[in-house]
């Protein structure tokens, strides 16, 4: 599978499909981008960091689950179709091996396609906060939209597909939580 280095930034101009985010002439300038970082991004990350420290101090080890949803086919980013479940721990650097194994074991027992540390190794939150040596175990799940919705406009939620994947998601998160608790 081909992976390109195309990504979205903090204030992207293009979607993963290559579509313009803003109307012509309405893209934010550098000052507006900085205002957004100060007003939204920084307080959000300050809250995440504080909550992780609070929970880690209370429990010793904590799980941070970073969940995303993505179209299964994005020629601008990669060839072919993504696996249904894309698990990332930055090649094992953001979660204890037992935590990663619990997540991948649950995925392997499902009927869904999956990969660990493939195209999506962990988003900013996973990479920035995951520090298993400090009791913070971060896992990213990039789940294909085709697993629970129609990927074509108007992007209809499909309850029967969503219901079908929920036991797998519960097993993945539950397994990760059990593994984190076992570390204490």
Residues 81-109 pLDDT 10s:
999 999 999 999 999 999 999 999 999 99
**Taking 50 as the threshold, does the pLDDT of residue 59 lie above it?**
yes
The residues near 43 (Cβ < 8 Å, ≥ 6 apart) are none
Asked if the bond preceding 154 is cis, omega within 30° of 0, the reply is: yes
Question: ∠78-81-84 over CA atoms, to 5°?
Answer: 120
Q: What mean pLDDT, rounded, does the chain reach?
A: 93
* Over residues 24-53, mean pLDDT: 95
Q: From CA 124, how far away is CA 126, in angstroms rounded?
A: 6
**Could you tell me if 62 and 136 are in contact, meaning their C-beta atoms sit under 8 angstroms apart?**
yes
Q: What is the DSSP string of 69-82?
A: EE-S--TTTBSS--
Mean pLDDT of 9-34: 84
pLDDT at position 26 = 87
Q: Coil, strand or helix: which one is 152?
A: coil
Mind listing the pLDDT tens digit for each residue in 110-161?
999 999 999 999 999 999 999 999 999 999 999 999 999 999 999 999 999 9
Nearest partner of 97 among 86, 107, 105, judged by Cα: 105
What pLDDT score was predicted for residue 117? 97
Q: Give how far Cα 112 sits from Cα of 49, 78, 141, Å.
A: 33, 20, 13
Inform me whether the pLDDT recorded for 14 exceeds 80.
Answer: no
Whether residue 7 has pLDDT greater than 70: no
Structure confidence at residue 11 (pLDDT): 80
Neighbours of 36 (CB within 10 A): 14
Q: pLDDT-derived band of residue 78, with 50, 70 and 90 as boundaries?
A: confident
All structural domains of the chain: 61-183 (3.40.630.40)
DSSP conformation letters of 1-56 = --B------SS-SB-TTS-BSS-TT----HHHHHHHIIIIIHHHHHHHHHHHHHHH
Contact at 8 Å (CB) between 145 and 156? no
- Say if residue 5's pLDDT is above 90: no
pLDDT recorded at residue 4:
42
């Amino acid at each position: 599978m081909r992976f390109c280095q195309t990504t979205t930034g903090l204030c992207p101009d293009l979607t993963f499909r290559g579509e313009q985010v803003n109307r012509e002439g309405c893209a934010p300038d550098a000052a507006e981008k900085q205002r957004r970082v100060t007003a939204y991004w920084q307080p959000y990350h300050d809250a995440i960091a504080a909550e992780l420290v609070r929970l880690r101090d209370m429990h010793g080890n904590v799980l941070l689950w970073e969940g995303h949803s993505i179209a299964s086919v994005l020629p601008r980013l990669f060839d072919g179709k993504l696996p249904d479940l894309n698990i990332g721990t930055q090649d094992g650097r953001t979660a204890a091996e037992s935590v990663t194994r619990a997540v991948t074991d649950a995925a392997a027992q499902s009927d869904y396609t999956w990969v660990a540390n493939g195209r999506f190794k962990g988003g900013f939150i996973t990479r920035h906060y995951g520090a298993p040596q400090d009791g913070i175990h971060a896992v990213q799940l990039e789940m294909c939209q085709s697993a629970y919705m129609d990927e074509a406009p108007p992007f209809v939620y499909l309850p029967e597909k969503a219901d079908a994947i929920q036991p797998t998601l519960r097993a993945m998160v539950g397994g990760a939580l059990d593994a984190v608790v076992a570390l204490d």
